[in-house]
Amino acid sequence: MSRRVLAVVLTVTILAVTAFFVPAALAIWNAQQRGELLALQREASIAASRVPPAGDPLRNGALVPVDGSAHRLALYRPDGALAAGDGPSRPDPVVATALTGDFAEGYVDGDLVAAAPVRRQPDGSAYVVRIDAPRGESRNRFLGSLAELAGAGVAVVAVAGLLGVRLTRRLNQPIEDLRAWAGAADLAGPSPAPLPPPPPTGIAELDGLRRALVGSRNRIAELLSRERSFSSQVSHQLLTPVAAMRVAIETERAAPRTDHNAILDESLAQLDRLQSTITSMLALARHVYRPALPVDLAALAAERASVFTALAADRGRELEVVGAPTPVVGDADAIGHIVDVLVHNALRHGQGRVTVRVGARADGSADTVAAVDVADEGRTPTERDPFAERGADTSHGIGLRLARSLAEAAQGRLELLDGPTTVFRLTVPVNAALVDPAPAGPAPVGPAPAGPALVDKAPAGPAPVDKATF
């Protein structure tokens, strides 16, 4: 690009200088010729004024040249004969015109000639003083002026070349800096180098290109980071149903049960869960729209929590679900995966009893939301952000960060409440037509979570079981 820009600058400059040089040379030629003619007329007039006014001019003295002039002078009689000086023996056209009593000027054989009448005779004729400038003198003067003009043109081209080189460097350097910055880090590597972009140049077009490249690079880095995070975090969630099926099949082989369909039913349930997990994860990764359907949030939370019964028993922990039926409209698979993550995280990293509390409540506006609180008796983590990219739970399940992404995809919100114990709250929008406005039922049993209390909605029909302990 540098060579092309420089070539364009030089080409345009040379064309401009040439377009100016030709008419300027013609103007100089015409001006010089006119000036030389006027100078010759002046010298001829001065020489004519010095010719004696009476009698034979040559009888009283010779022609007196103008001081400092090297031009040739000649005096012609009224009959055209050369009387004195250096000139042609026969009068040329310029002299012939002056013999009639008028000033005359012109070119004779390339020489510049001027003639001035000295004294008119009774018949109208006059003595004539002739002065000429050789062709070489005029040509040399013109060539000197032309050389000066050409030197000025060469200087203009040279200055344009220097400015072109500086301009190309000014335009090229920011582009080279952007190219070096864009290729400095491998975005596909494990950790792209956070190099600062080059500073703005003050050139609107280049700064626009800089902003576009910086924005694109940041978006690509963010997408790659999310992809790596998604791949690493989702692997365990996909392998959990497979591991459960393997354990169930191995147990069945070691101690077969009388009902052989039991193991098939359990395997089918795990396959359904695996298929649901894969479908929801792919939908999240591809941003595929999933329709919201009516679902009982309390029943869904109890179903998902039951999967962790064995893990809670192995750790000597209690796991309970508290809440009345809470109908919502949402993505059951996404909500179920979030409950999986929260319960699994509480059992892995929390302490004491784990309580899953479900209920509907007002969120401070005209809307009603349903909330799922997953609480344990451990202290609230304050030294780090549990939703950070490298949280402590990234090796277990899909991780809290991806759980928050699932919540946002389901038009909900996942947050850690302030308080002495750990309480994660998932809130999802509720279709007002599906919420039973009956008064709240009995207060749930278990440690109260930090933050605003939930209001459980009692069903309109026979009272269901509000508390399930595993």
How distant, in Å, are the alpha carbons of 165, 315, 464 from that of 160?
9, 83, 91
Q: Does domain 2-154 have CATH number 3.30.465.10?
A: no
Name the 3-class secondary structure at 11.
helix
* Distance of alpha carbon 299 from alpha carbon 313, whole angstroms: 21
* Distance of alpha carbon 158 from alpha carbon 416, whole angstroms: 71
* Distance of alpha carbon 449 from alpha carbon 80, whole angstroms: 135
DSSP 373-391: EEEEEEEPP-SS-TTSTT-
For tokens 């179903």, name the residue. 303
At residue 145, φ and ψ (nearest 5 deg) are -65, -40
- Spatial CA neighbour of 45 closest among 77, 69, 79: 69
User: Domain 291-469 has what CATH class?
Assistant: alpha beta
* Distance of alpha carbon 195 from alpha carbon 185, whole angstroms: 8
* Distance of alpha carbon 373 from alpha carbon 359, whole angstroms: 9
Q: Which residues contact 63 (CB under 8 A, 6 or more apart)?
A: 47, 50, 51, 73, 74, 75, 84, 85, 129
* Distance of alpha carbon 373 from alpha carbon 107, whole angstroms: 114
What is the chain's Cα-based Rg?
53
* Distance of alpha carbon 275 from alpha carbon 265, whole angstroms: 15
Q: Where are the beta strands (DSSP E) in 5-77?
A: 72-76
C-alpha angle 191-192-196 in degrees, rounded to nearest 5: 140
- Please give the chain's pLDDT, 470 residues, in tens: 667 777 888 888 888 888 888 888 888 888 877 887 788 778 777 777 777 665 555 554 456 666 666 788 888 888 888 887 788 888 888 888 888 878 888 888 878 888 888 766 666 567 888 888 877 777 787 888 888 888 888 998 899 888 888 888 777 777 778 777 777 755 555 554 567 788 887 878 778 888 888 888 777 777 777 666 666 656 656 666 677 778 778 888 888 888 878 888 878 877 877 776 677 666 666 655 566 788 888 999 998 888 888 778 888 899 999 988 888 888 888 888 888 889 988 888 888 999 999 988 766 555 678 899 999 998 887 766 777 655 444 344 457 877 887 788 777 889 999 888 999 999 988 764 444 433 333 333 333 333 333 434 333 333 344 555 54
CA 290 to chain centre: 35
For tokens 């679900």, name the residue. 321
* Distance of alpha carbon 349 from alpha carbon 343, whole angstroms: 10
Find residue 73's DSSP bridge partners.
Answer: 131
For tokens 């009516």, name the residue. 294
Kindly tell me the number of DSSP H helices and DSSP E strands found in the chain.
9, 13
Give domain limits for the chain: 2-154, 188-288, 291-469
Q: Which residues contact 67 (CB under 8 A, 6 or more apart)?
A: none
Q: Which residues contact 83 (CB under 8 A, 6 or more apart)?
A: 57, 58, 75, 76, 77, 127
* Distance of alpha carbon 221 from alpha carbon 192, whole angstroms: 7
Name the 3-class secondary structure at 139.
helix
What kind of fold does domain 188-288 have according to CATH?
Helix Hairpins (1.10.287)
DSSP-based helix, strand, coil % in the chain, nearest 5 = 50, 20, 35
* Distance of alpha carbon 311 from alpha carbon 343, whole angstroms: 10
Q: Which token pair is 355? A: 């309580």
**Is residue 197 within 8 Å of residue 179, measured between CB atoms?**
no
